[in-house]
Amino acid sequence: MFKAANSSQVLHGLGRTLILAAAVWSVLLLAGCAGSTNVYNNDKTVVYNGATYNLSNVKQIKSKISGKLSDTNTVDLLNADKKQVEAYLKDYQTIYVRMAFNFDEQEMLYRASSVSEYSDYSKMQSSFEDAGKQINDLLADKKKLQLKLK
């Protein structure tokens, strides 16, 4: 003989199944979210010549290239082309070139040397530009925290 199922018992069993499925689904979703959340620390530092420069709160980075001439005048060489540098070398024989990065108000002296030929200046400038690119790459990379310049 067949016994008719009580509809309230069927609904009660279905409700339990739905609650259990929802609980399992929620646990799986939370586990997936926890694994994909990455928090990065933005304490960026540059290490150069034994000094550490913190760039975490720096708002502006500027490059500075200056040349001190033998008559004690100082000239801005940041945007100087080959002809301008060669003209200074022709007139003054040597230029004391100073290349630095300014991190807001903090200065990082990169190179300072006397040059008597444009090729020496060009090598210094190339190295300085490469360091600037490395600093920009550090700031653009969320995962990279420190740069050791050579």
Note down pLDDT in tens along the chain; length 150 residues.
Answer: 555 555 556 556 667 776 776 777 676 666 655 555 555 556 889 999 999 999 988 899 999 999 999 888 999 999 999 999 999 999 999 999 999 999 998 999 999 999 999 999 999 999 999 999 999 999 888 889 999 998
Overall domain count for the chain: 2
Report the predicted TM-score, pTM, of the whole model to 2 decimal places.
0.70
pLDDT of residue 5: 54
- Asked if residue 55 and residue 29 are part of one domain, the reply reads no
Report the half-sphere exposure of 4 (CA within 13 A, side-chain side).
Answer: 3
- Asked if residue 20 and residue 59 are part of one domain, the reply reads no
- Asked if residue 112 and residue 51 are part of one domain, the reply reads yes
If you count them, how many residues does the chain have? 150
- Asked if residue 60 and residue 26 are part of one domain, the reply reads no
pLDDT of residue 147: 93
Burial class (CB in 10 A: 0-12, 13-18, 19+), 139: middle
pLDDT of residue 129: 95
- Asked if residue 77 and residue 140 are part of one domain, the reply reads yes
Residue 80: closest CA among 117, 122, 113: 122
**Which tokens is 132 given?**
């600037």
Residue 66: closest CA among 83, 50, 45, 88: 88
- Asked if residue 57 and residue 28 are part of one domain, the reply reads no
- Asked if residue 19 and residue 2 are part of one domain, the reply reads yes
**Which tokens is 72 given?**
């004690």
Q: Show the domain range for 120.
A: 45-148
pLDDT of residue 13: 64
At 2 the three-state DSSP class reads coil
